[in-house]
Chains A and B, each alone.
Chain A
Amino acid sequence: MTLLRLISWPYFRRHVLRTLLTVAGIVLGVAVFVGMHTANHTVLDGFSRTVDRIAGKTEIQVTAGETGFDEEILDKVQSASTVRVAVPVIEAVVDTNAIDHGGQGNLLILGIDMTGDRSLRDYDLESGEDAVIDDPLVFLAQPDSLMLSKEFADKNHITVGSRLPLGTAEGEKPFTVRGVMKSSALTSAFGGNLAVMDIYAAQKMFGRGRTFDRIDLAVRPGRTIAECERELQTMLGPGFQVEPPSGRGQQFEAMLAAYSMMVNISSAFALFIGMFIIYNSFAIAVTQRRSEIGILRALGATRRQIRWLFLGESAVTGLIGSIGGVVFGVVIARGIAASIGTLISDVYGQTQSTTEALATDPRLLGVALVIGILTSLVAAAIPARNAARVDPVQALQKGKYQVLSAGESRLRAMLAAVLGAIALVCLVAPPLTSASRQAGGARALFYLGFSLVIVVALLLSPLLSLGLAKALRPLLTRLRPVEGVLAADSLIQAPRRTSASVAALMLSLTLVVAFAGMARASYDSIINWMQTALNPDLFVMPSQSIVVRTIRFPPSVGPDIAAIPGVERVQTVRDARIVFRKTPIMLVAIEVASMAQTAQRVPVAGNADQMYRRAGAGEGLIVSDNLALLQHLSLGEMLEIPAPNGLVRLPIVGIIVDFSDQQGTIFVDRRQFLKYWGDDSVNVVRVYLKPGVQMPDVRQRILERFAGQRQVFVLTNAELKAYILRVTDQWFGLTSIQIAVAVLVAILGIVNTLTVSITDRRRELGVLQAVGGLQGQIRRTIWLEALSIAVIGLTLGFVLGAINLYYILQIVQYDIGGMRLDYEFPYPTMLALVPVMLAAAFVAAIWPAESAVRGSLVEALEYE
């Protein structure tokens, strides 16, 4: 402690900027970790909280995926001996044209049966006519009745009796606010944007026919939840999920698994990058303070004390940086959460409330603090060890700075070679066959190999930096004979000073390459898929979003559209998320025979003709390639899909590439779907036009046909594809965050390196100026040094990124999305990054360059 106060504190005070930069490394890593995890938790918690608040006293919920089930199931459930009370529920998120003060246009509509619902949910009306307040009769009698949460009513200045327009299956309808619910746990669900309406009116308004989304129930006193679950599961069969409300949260979490994985990878990289910034700072600090260490050692300080001095410094730096990172992370979490919310809404159709409070989990913040400090300690461990090994005699000799010893270099190279060989063995030893990849051990080896590749790259970064710096020397010499040589020599003489910055930059770019490569491959695959699978001229939908399935068409819409002049063919599609092997996947009911004629898709396994013929005859199922990969399914395998009306037991007759859902898709013929799910509603009508017909005319006719009767959105083929690509853009929005982080890392690392470089070379720069060197030459030297670091970082980053991309595509294929993506190096992004990184390097060099030319010449020449 005394050493920290007497030795470290004055050093920090003398080098405020560098200290701040070091702390910034930790701030960056911890902030990304905290920000991304807090945002992720906020979204997941928001969903779970909404589920819990709506569930009220519900102990068990009965669902059948998104398809819902027939009303008659309610009678069965109510008759169960373990059930005290069971009430049906419909949920729909609708857009409202309410006066929108907080950007809160979406409203969660809860359709309930008010005759029994209040035994599970606690709500009361605050104002309104007495006959309306506690009299559900008027509420039930008028299908336009709506009860709003006090939160939503206040926010939008809505009072009892107001009319509120809502988008329904029958078009936009004015609803009458017949009550305002007092604030309670229920009304705060979905960020307070909640409304209650009669369930039977909701069925009509949202095109649900005679189905319910789920049944909420409470267990009879004296019976256990487990008993009730068993009874209901036996009674209803495997087509129903009988589980506590928390089960829905788990399903939601499972749906977001791919996104969570990406968040985790990003967080880990951010921390890793932060670690290198700290390593860089401490390595430089040790080098700079060699004489100070030498004096301490000469005065009797032990190696142990020196090591602990530096570790202590790093712990304090880590603590301060972590606190800053936690604060900054919480600040940025709101923005990230909003972005994730939009993504989830657009990709999964699960509209999220954006008004939920941030889920700042104290445990996560605690973990972040610990991780920040540990990262700092780990990063400082090698510099601290080096500091402890400083020889006092050598240290007190002026001018003996950075030398990468040949022994150290050899050791690193040997270690890298050994680890590289192991990585190669891990990669090739268990070939990624379908059989071997099922073995957990093979995946562990794969991940070990992946980690070792990164470690090898880091070990080799000083050597590679040195090599690249030497390679750059002729170029720099040709560019600027004096400044170029000086810049190159500075890098060559002090590779350790440069290598950590380069390593941090390399890691950042590695991640950027991986994300950009994945994005590019995904775009290409998605575009290919869209060209074959999405070839109708028009898509008619009941909702503006293709992923929102809470409002649906009745089956009659198909023939109605088919009868419109100019329409050659229509295909009705019903898609719904179901639970298959405990994973939420997409079930798509299609008119297989018709699809076979219009959108012939080449299966990756199976024969196209047989696939369509058998699936169309109800003799088989078609599954997506990603489902087959994630669930280890193969052609001909018998699938068992639990449905409300029984177990669907059909073989896989074809596997096709499909990007409808990240967790996978099963295609079933519409007749089979009707038979087993009893759901005749329609999500999308695919419309093919007659040759020569004007598309805008038909579009207009469709809109006119349903005007005033039904809410209809007509998208052209191009609009739908643009929508999908926009959603894909959002999904890969993380790439832009990564690029931002990479730029920040570049700036931080280069500023740090150059600051030290100038301090180290103060004497050299002083002599240069003394013998007639111009300020402009000094500036250019520093600039060239910065640009060289960026070039080296870019080169190594691209190389490691290219390797990393291979691994990431493997992970995406086998562990995340089951997407079989082609390897494509993201040249456009990388080319765009070159000027960005060079500009960042130049910006980073401005201040150090000015500092170098404005430094005191006398002070610089003191050494002489």
Chain B
Amino acid sequence: MSKQRLWPRRHENTKKNGVHVLPFHFIFFFFVCFAPSWPTGLQSSLIAADNARQIVEEAQKRTDAKSQRYEGVLQVFDSKGKIADKRWTFERLGSHGQSKVVLRFTAPAEVKGVAMLIVNHPDRASDQWMWTPAIERDRRIALQDRSTRFFGTDFSFEDLEERDVNQYDYTLAAGDDATVDGAACWKIQSTPKESKSSQYTKSIVWVRKDDYAFARIENYVKDQVVRRMAYSDIQNVQGIWTARQLEMADLRRGSRTRLTLEKLEYNVPLKDEDFTLQAIRRQ
């Protein structure tokens, strides 16, 4: 029952603040976390549109952490089966639209030392900078065309954006296949509102009923699925259910990108001064 009371209260609170920012926080990083399972009794009542939104909000709430660190292995599989590996270290300070992220590539040698600083804002698109040690230059990355692929991966820049929950409409989509890897899921359709520009017409999100973890996302352009994100190896890390492996498939290109999270930690002590342009230039 406490959970049932929690949703309206949270909804009211966010309204009071006047800012409905429930960021999908650099979405694939966000999607590595998901909430603990709901009581079964709640499931049958969550069939209205408002509740679909509450599910998303709750899923996000359960990923709350002051900070996060992991070492990522990024593998891009092209349509011919060729694999390209990259490794990075990821550090995030803060959450829910006010976070700062430093992402530093560690392999291969050609990209070692390249770093990115992402400063998320609750009310606008994030600011991003990139440091290239070979020319000792930082550059601002202007994400004007958000459908551009993120540095050769199958993620687009839009996939990585934090999303304002208010810019989307959510409905529970009825379907026979609301099961992913044997886990029962809510199937939620997210549609960008008219004011929101997006390369996608809609997205279908599978949220696991037992732990509120995201299990799958399919992104549509008109009626065609163009990208599919799959979450696997879901583990409880410091109380946060986290998918240790994410795989985004670009169905048009026939390629996919797998991100494996290693040495994942939450709420690690990180300093604010390490999330500045000067800091990424130093290291």
Contact = CB atoms under 8 A, between A and B. Distances in A.
Contacts of A134: 149, 152
B232 to A, nearest CB: 23
A441 B235 CA distance: 89
B132 A200 contact: yes
A138 B110 contact: yes
Contacts of A142: 110, 134
Task: Classify the interface of chain A: helix, strand, loop or mixed.
Answer: helix
B152 A113 contact: no
B277 interface: no
B86 interface: yes
Given A115-B143, A137-B111, A141-B105, 11 more contacts: A116-B142, A118-B148, A119-B148, A130-B78, A130-B80, A130-B82, A137-B86, A138-B108, A141-B133, A142-B110, A203-B137
A4 interface: no
Contacts of A138: 108, 110-111
Given A130-B84, A141-B110, A116 B135 contact: no
Contacts of A285: none
B139 A135 contact: no
B9 to A, nearest CB: 38
B72 to A, nearest CB: 14
A201 B135 CA distance: 7
Given A130-B76, A200-B137, A137 B114 contact: yes
Task: Classify the interface of chain B: helix, strand, loop or mixed.
Answer: loop
Interface stretch (A78-86, A182-190, A345-353, A789-797): A78-86
A131 B149 CA distance: 13
B144 A137 contact: no
Contact of B139 (A85, A119, A129, A200): A200
A259 to B, nearest CB: 40
B253 to A, nearest CB: 9
Interface in B114-168: 114, 130, 132-135, 137, 139-145, 148-149, 151-153
A131 B148 contact: no
Which of B130, B148, B153 has most A Cβ within 10 Å? B148
Nearest to B152: A135
Contacts of B113: 141
A116 B148 contact: yes
26 contacts: A75-B142, A78-B144, A113-B142, A115-B142, A115-B143, A116-B142, A116-B143, A118-B145, A118-B148, A129-B82, A130-B80, A130-B82, A131-B86, A133-B152, A135-B151, A135-B153, A137-B111, A137-B114, A137-B151, A140-B130, A140-B132, A141-B105, A143-B132, A143-B134, A204-B135, A204-B137
Contacts of B83: 130
Contact of A141 (B132, B142, B143, B149): B132
Interface residues of B, number: 31
A262 interface: no
Contact of B144 (A86, A135, A143, A200): A86
Given A86-B144, A130-B82, A131-B84, A200 B135 contact: yes
Which of B105, B111, B133 has most A Cβ within 10 Å? B111
Interface residues of A, number: 29
Contacts of A115: 141-143, 148
A220 B139 CA distance: 24
A74 interface: yes
A392 interface: no
B145 A116 contact: yes
A190 B111 CA distance: 31
Nearest to A129: B84
A678 interface: no
Which of A85, A116, A131, A204 has most B Cβ within 10 Å? A131
B139 A141 contact: no
B151 A136 contact: yes
Contact of A137 (B80, B105, B135, B137): B105
What 7 pairs across the A-B complex have the smallest Cβ distances? A135-B152, A131-B84, A119-B145, A137-B151, A85-B144, A130-B78, A130-B82
A131 B152 contact: yes
Interface in A100-154: 113, 115-116, 118-119, 129-131, 133-138, 140-143
A199 to B, nearest CB: 8
B66 to A, nearest CB: 29
B76 A119 contact: no
Contacts of B133: 141
B145 A85 contact: yes
A133 B135 CA distance: 21
A695 B153 CA distance: 57
Contacts of A140: 114, 130, 132
Contacts of B86: 131, 137
Interface string B64-83: 00000000000010101011
A142 B151 CA distance: 14
A143 B135 contact: yes
Contacts of B80: 130
Contacts of A204: 135, 137
A74 B142 contact: yes
A87 B141 CA distance: 11
Contacts of B134: 141-143
B140 A75 contact: yes
Contacts of B149: 134
A204 B133 CA distance: 13
A113 B130 CA distance: 12
Given A137-B86, A142-B110, A119 B152 contact: no
B79 to A, nearest CB: 9
Contacts of B145: 85, 116, 118-119
Nearest to A137: B151
Contacts of B143: 115-116
Interface string B83-94: 110100000000
B140 A137 contact: no
B151 to A, nearest CB: 4
B106 to A, nearest CB: 12
B68 to A, nearest CB: 22
Interface in B224-281: none
B240 to A, nearest CB: 29
Contacts of B84: 129-131, 135
A742 B134 CA distance: 61
Nearest to A134: B152
Nearest to B84: A131
A87 B111 CA distance: 23
A673 B133 CA distance: 32
Contacts of A129: 82, 84
Nearest to B112: A141
Contacts of A119: 144-145, 148
Contacts of A86: 142, 144
B281 to A, nearest CB: 14
Nearest to A200: B137
A141 B114 contact: yes
A74 B140 CA distance: 10
A85 B139 CA distance: 17
Contacts of A113: 139, 142
B83 to A, nearest CB: 8
A118 B149 CA distance: 10
Nearest to B197: A221
A115 B116 CA distance: 13
